[in-house]
Structure 1
Amino acid sequence: MATRVVFVHGACVRDGSWWWRRTAELLRERGVPSVAPELPSCGEAGQPVDADGPGLPEDVAAVRRLLLADNEPTVVVAHSYGGIVTAEAAAGIGSVRHLLLVSSYLPEVGQSLSDFGDDGPAPFLDVDPASGTFGVRPELLVDTFLQDCDPEDKEQAEHHLARQSVRVTAQPVGAAAWQQVPSTYLVCAQDGGTPPGRQRDFARRAGGIVELDAGHHPFLSRPAAVRDLLLSL
């Protein structure tokens, strides 16, 4: 049983602890602490988010610093884009005992986020070439990503969106932690952002696959199920 959980949030959001809070509370009740590092490419380090701002290397460094700061056994939960960050950030760190990929990616060395997408941006994304940033279209947020969440979370989620440096989509990872560390993929069968069929394709690289009847954020909509899965790891 891991002593702590590290939650790495996805693209175009900030305040990972807000997205993670419902599962974090249930884990605390079982004596399991958790933490959600900030990602500079989403503006969480105070640096401007633009074409020249922080990208994937800075996100990797931020997560890696947190993982190295404590030698307690750790499970890393990587959500969506967080799987790209975690692939490099968790590599070669002995305290990391398991990776849980939630509607996420397991990139090979040299692959980037764009290798897992279609030719153009998804319809729920707003890409601004002038500023070098992209973000979720607020009017599509709930129907795409939060349809199974509580009304309170649906109402508050927009305030936790962020513009993100578009650089992260093309920057390749320099390591693939999932090749070294046991990994489990959580397929979100009602996800409107990453189709379940695509997730099942991505999941083939993982050591284990679990499927949950949930949308893109099961740690909000099905926190007890996510807690139980983590406790089983």
Structure 2
Amino acid sequence: MSRRFFRSFVLPFALVAAAGATVAKDPVAAAKPTIVLVHGAFADSSSWNGVAGELRGKGYPVVAVANPLRSLSGDSRYTASVLDQITGPIVLVGHSYGGSIISNAAVGKAQVRALVFVSAFAPEAGESVADLAGKFPGSSLGDALAKPVPLPDGGVDLYIDQARFRGQFAADVNPGAARLMAIGQRPVAEAALKEGSPGSAWKGIPSYFIYGSGDKNIPSAAMAWMAERAHARQAVVIQHASHVPQVSHPHAVASLIEAAARSAD
């Protein structure tokens, strides 16, 4: 294989990989906003599979960001770099800690036309995930965490104990699927949850909220309070749903995202 061929093939591929994902835009999809999905702590991009499949089936370009879960500022910069690779309007969607990411990554991004918070934090500047999680009673996440894993920089990574994962995080998900989610969960650096939010893009971008009344990570009272503070255009409560409605109720989540996308056209 010639060096010239190697360069022509590998370099474009590397640039695409750095963007986090590729979107093949057909003529129908090109007329629709791109949906960018940002997962939260203790999850990964596969948690969006049901939602992404439904949206793709309706012609929406979809990108699922591999959230690093290392620091709020760093994760937000990474997500912003993904947004910079996308042409045209964007609907930015965040789950859980991912809500803090989209609240910052969208700052100054005119192409982001709507924010969708899926059981997600929507912090004011200076607020941390830890601050918001403790603002209202009802979260049992702290008791469900496994022993922290030390990091070389002196910090720690947090996981949910696998034996408690379904009850805490995904109570309305099929037991077999929840077991695999527990095994494949992505840890979050504790420091990321304690870092104050630099910005609050929801103040200038239309926002939408959807969450479950049975969420044990973020109390539903906290979600309702954040949605009201953000003057959400629509707030959907799924009765008895867990912290991952995008897994257990993908149609409801996709429908709200589509509503946000239609408003962004």
TM-score (norm 2): 0.76
2:58 maps to which of 11, 15, 30: 30
How many Å separate the matches in 1 of 2:251 and 2:237? 14
Cα offset for 1:33? 2.0
Q: Secondary structure at the match of 2:182?
A: helix
TM superposition outliers: structure 1 runs of 4+ over 3 Å = none
- CA offsets, 1:109-149, max 9 Å, x none? 12111211339962122352744221111111111221212
Aligned: 1:192 with 2:216: yes
1:1-233 map, 5 Å: 2-13=32-43, 15-16=44-45, 18-41=46-69, 54-118=70-134, 122-126=142-146, 128=148, 130-131=150-151, 132-206=156-230, 207-208=232-233, 209-213=235-239, 214-233=241-260
**Structure of higher CA gyration radius:** 2
Q: Give the residue type in structure 1 aligned to 2:236.
A: V
How many Å separate the matches in 2 of 1:163 and 1:227? 26
- CA offsets, 1:1-43, max 9 Å, x none? 8521111111133x31x100011111111001211111223xx
Instruction: Report sequence identity in percent.
Output: 28
How many Å separate the matches in 2 of 1:96 and 1:127? 38
How many Å separate the matches in 2 of 1:221 and 1:154? 10
Kept in 1, the 8 Å contact 2:213–2:220? The answer is: yes
In the alignment, which residue of structure 1 is the partner of 2:26? none
Kept in 2, the 8 Å contact 1:38–1:62? The answer is: no
How many Å separate the matches in 2 of 1:37 and 1:217? 17
Kept in 1, the 8 Å contact 2:32–2:61? The answer is: no
How many Å separate the matches in 1 of 2:174 and 2:126? 39
> How well do the aligned residues superpose, as a CA RMSD in angstroms?
2.1
Q: Could you tell me which runs of 5 or more consecutive residues in structure 2 were left unpaired when the two chains were aligned.
A: 1-30, 261-265
How many Å separate the matches in 2 of 1:165 and 1:78? 18
How many Å separate the matches in 1 of 2:32 and 2:105? 18
- CA offsets, 1:59-109, max 9 Å, x none? 111100111111321111111101111111111101111111111111111
Kept in 2, the 8 Å contact 1:103–1:185? The answer is: yes
Instruction: Count residues with an aligned counterpart.
Output: 219
Kept in 2, the 8 Å contact 1:81–1:113? The answer is: yes
